[in-house]
Structure 1
């Protein structure tokens, strides 16, 4: 009798464990499906047809502008930009491989890596940026575009071209998109390591510039390296104006609907504070979170979609250290 009871207990525990595993797998599958649907669901606050159309236009326009800048200021002096575009230009110089071919081939694995770590919409815009970059480079009027700065104007080309490259990338990053290539990895590493994107660019671009120096000598490599520092400095300086950290308090009766969107779509932590209405005396939850100024628009969209009557308070924060923001020294 005792053995039978023990056997039944073991059997029940195994059944419960199997049910728990099945529930976990079901939740995991549901969450994955929900993330994919959220990126394209027009009723989800993450999807805004007007804003997404504006972002798309900015991506396309930035691709065109940067391709023109590269051909006007970089190509005449055998200079390179950074990242995958720099590799594509280097292979064009040395092996006459069309730039668009290299861009497509090298961006495919980067997009796959990014798809596992960022939302679907981000990857879609990155893929569009990759396609646009490839198409722009193949257009005749882009390939033939030049600006005559006079003789011995290498230094002027470096300063003007690099500054324009750095500044032109800011609107795309501010809209939460990229032009593909290493920009995807820059965003991932910047979030993971809490390091400015411009500094990350410098690290791998030094290797690319060294390869340029092997084929074309020291001067083009040094000019390209100088251009990389200038564009990175402009990117960091310009983004600093949009990338301050703020503390947000949200008072809403639908706090339990707002918080999951912030966690899943913005990948930001949320803390619930216990509050009490002075007039009503009713207890309520206060949603507390810390975001960057570039993320305020997305957070407002989430709050507005779930509770238009919510109180939304933004307080500028002098310094934040910890996971997702900075390293504690």
Structure 2
């Protein structure tokens, strides 16, 4: 398939992500004026002041931003962004009446539910490297004027400004705090959706008994391992470094095996995400 165009799977993820985002905004965030960053958050702030529908505000801001960023983006990113803007605008229009349902009168519960839906929606969209415009475009454009600041930092600044404005517009510090907490929760949930729950641990083991260790590891854990060649910084002696990735439930067992063979081994353990290949999941 031509890489300039999107697959059916990518379009489906984009549609589902935009629908979930629309529901989170109209059903949970808008009724309580909670603005968890982003251009959609700014739309909620403006809506709380002048009562203009979210879909109109979203479209009014995103179209000029997209036109300005058009030459900077690749053709495929342009297509994903314009489709994201269209799908989100339609989603906000179709779900506008959800704001009148009064799903909950508790702003804490609203921020939790809204953050979960928003985090899942962004996870779906980011998994295909998609975009709905907003602070993505603001960050890209601002980076041209402030090249010493990364796009991620500039997006963070834009989100912070929106959170502050939510408190100013509502004249309530609590609303700004709810917005800030929601923004944090959204980021964490988005990471979980993108990376999955299947965290593993990687071990780097430096030992004079590497041959014995590799044998018992393969026998007891039924895991493959890799020898990396190293050299002692002081002695300049060559060292075999064992590199192995195991599931969380195998961590304790591996530690015990290392201790039983070489209690003086040097071991580095790090948390890893999205392990692909033999013994783990396939690349999607």
| TM-score normalised according to structure 1 size | 0.51
Deviation sequence 1:116-174 (CA, Å, 0-9, x none): 2221121112111112222222226654474634x5x3223222321321222112111
Question: Cα RMSD between the aligned structures?
Answer: 3.2
User: 1:212 — aligned with what?
Assistant: 166
Shift of 1:201: 4.3
Distance 1:200 1:239, change over 3 A: farther
Q: Judge conservation of contact 1:69–1:165 (CA < 8 Å) in 2.
A: yes
Q: Judge conservation of contact 2:4–2:75 (CA < 8 Å) in 1.
A: no
Shift of 1:187: 7.3
User: 1:72 — aligned with what?
Assistant: 27
Q: Judge conservation of contact 1:201–1:232 (CA < 8 Å) in 2.
A: no
Alignment counterpart, residue 48 of structure 2, candidates 67, 80, 93: 93
User: 1:110 — aligned with what?
Assistant: 65
Unaligned runs of 5+ in 1: 1-41, 243-317, 319-329
Deviation sequence 1:185-243 (CA, Å, 0-9, x none): 55786xx889795x65442222112222122111111111110111122224544559x
Hey, what's the Cα distance between the residues in 2 that align with 1:87 and 1:100? 12
Matches within 5 A, 1:1-329: 44=2, 46-47=3-4, 52-139=7-94, 142-144=97-99, 146=101, 148-149=103-104, 153-185=106-138, 197=152, 201-216=155-170, 217-240=172-195
User: 1:265 — aligned with what?
Assistant: none
Unaligned runs of 5+ in 2: 198-271, 273-284
Hey, what's the Cα distance between the residues in 2 that align with 1:157 and 1:102? 22
User: 1:325 — aligned with what?
Assistant: none
Q: Judge conservation of contact 2:45–2:169 (CA < 8 Å) in 1.
A: no
Distance 1:85 1:135, change over 3 A: same
Q: Judge conservation of contact 2:48–2:169 (CA < 8 Å) in 1.
A: no
Hey, what's the Cα distance between the residues in 2 that align with 1:147 and 1:175? 33
SS at match of 1:97: coil
The alignment covers a number of residue pairs equal to 194
Q: Judge conservation of contact 2:21–2:118 (CA < 8 Å) in 1.
A: yes
| TM-score normalised according to structure 2 size | 0.58
Deviation sequence 1:221-273 (CA, Å, 0-9, x none): 1111110111122224544559xxxxxxxxxxxxxxxxxxxxxxxxxxxxxxx
Hey, what's the Cα distance between the residues in 1 that align with 2:95 and 2:24? 15
Shift of 1:113: 3.9
